[in-house]
Amino acid sequence: MEQLLDIKHLNVDFTLREKTLRAVRDVSLTLNKGERLGIVGESGAGKSVLGFSIINLISKPGKITGGEVMFEGEDISKYSYDEMRKIRGNKISIIFQDPMMTLNPVLTIGTQMKETILAHMDVSDKEAEAICLEKLKKVYIPSPEKRLKQYPHEFSGGMRQRIIIAISLLTDPSLIIADEPTTALDVTIQAEIMDLLLELCETDNMGLILITHDLAVVSEVTQRIAVLYAGRVVEIGPTEQIIGNPQHPYTQGLLKALPEMADGENRLNQIPGMMPSLFNMPDGCPFEPRCEEKKEHCTQTVPGLIELANGAQVACFAREGGK
């Protein structure tokens, strides 16, 4: 299978006054053409920073301090602002949780869509309009000709997110990075949007990186899942293995905390304790303070990812020897 993205040993830091917050630590992952990868983890785990660092869109004082982001064979992490503009919103599109991060409230949908097309493609105004209509139909927006003349506030939340998806498709990207794209929507609409994303990825062989704290959502849409904890990938593998046969104590804890896994009294089994401060990481395994399986050397060395027989990789000393 042809590789689309190859992230190697990526580090992202935020330097605030004298202190350094290590948001992403030694992350390596790959994505094949047309593959769908989920990135999950608690709030503050570094999911959004990782997603944005792929397209070098980290807000100051954030900076990629190490590693590579190989996209279609080139290290785009070293690209200049202008070089990156040709990739961002073109070959790689991003979908945010809040559609209003992308949409301008004072411009019609048609104007905004055409602006995006004309910024990246050498086409006439008429051709641009035809592309807009084609993409709106693709995301099942009824009466697209009429909708093009409307403003963002004239759409419901779910419809607005469909528009965002249509915008993200305008340049026929090979990769979409979606950061919590449905969290703000109600459950039924959430499912419709996820079905739509899945359908579009399949029909157009588009890669997808789906960032979410919702394990149920990723399990339906993605083929592989990476579990992030304190900026590190602690487990990565085929979706059915991560959901059905998790090996890292943190992944196991996340799954137990799912509402469907609630015990008889309907209580969630939250993982006790908190993620360590990214300003002051322990020397050993970042999960050690919360881990029920910890061993003596877990406080001394950070475990690296090891291959398991189930096709997953896990960073945990208790799994050495494989399963």
Q: Using CB under 6 A, list all residues that contact ligand SF4.
A: 249, 285, 287-288, 291, 293-295, 298, 303, 316-318
Pick the binder of Mg ion from 29, 41, 48, 178 (CB under 5 A).
Answer: 48
- Tell me whether strands 175-179 and 207-211 are parallel, antiparallel or unpaired: parallel
Residue span binding ligand ATP (CB under 6 A) among the ranges 46-54, 121-129, 133-141, 150-158: 46-54
Residue span binding ligand ATP (CB under 6 A) among the ranges 43-51, 102-110, 116-124, 284-292: 43-51
The sign of the CA dihedral 77, 75, 42, 158 is positive
For residues 218 and 233, what is the distance between their CA atoms, to the nearest angstrom? Answer: 16
Residue 67 contact among ligand SF4, Mg ion, ligand ATP, none, beta carbon within 5 to 8 Å by kind: none
- Could you tell me which residues come within 8 angstroms of residue 157 by beta carbon, excluding any fewer than 6 positions away? 99, 184, 185, 189
For residues 198 and 213, what is the distance between their CA atoms, to the nearest angstrom? Answer: 18
For residues 131 and 257, what is the distance between their CA atoms, to the nearest angstrom? Answer: 44
Pick the binder of ligand ATP from 44, 66, 238, 276 (CB under 6 A).
Answer: 44
Contact between residue 35 and residue 86 where contact means Cβ atoms under 8 Å apart: no
Q: Which two tokens stand for residue 72?
A: 């279609």
Query: Is position 247 an interface residue for Mg ion (rule: CB under 5 A)?
Result: no
What binding mask, one character per residue, do residues 89-118 give for ligand ATP by CB under 6 A, x or -? ------------------------------
**Which 212-251 residues touch ligand ATP, going by CB under 6 A?**
213
Query: Is position 56 an interface residue for ligand ATP (rule: CB under 6 A)?
Result: no
Which of the 8 DSSP states describes residue 88? B
Residues in touch with Mg ion (CB under 5 A): 48
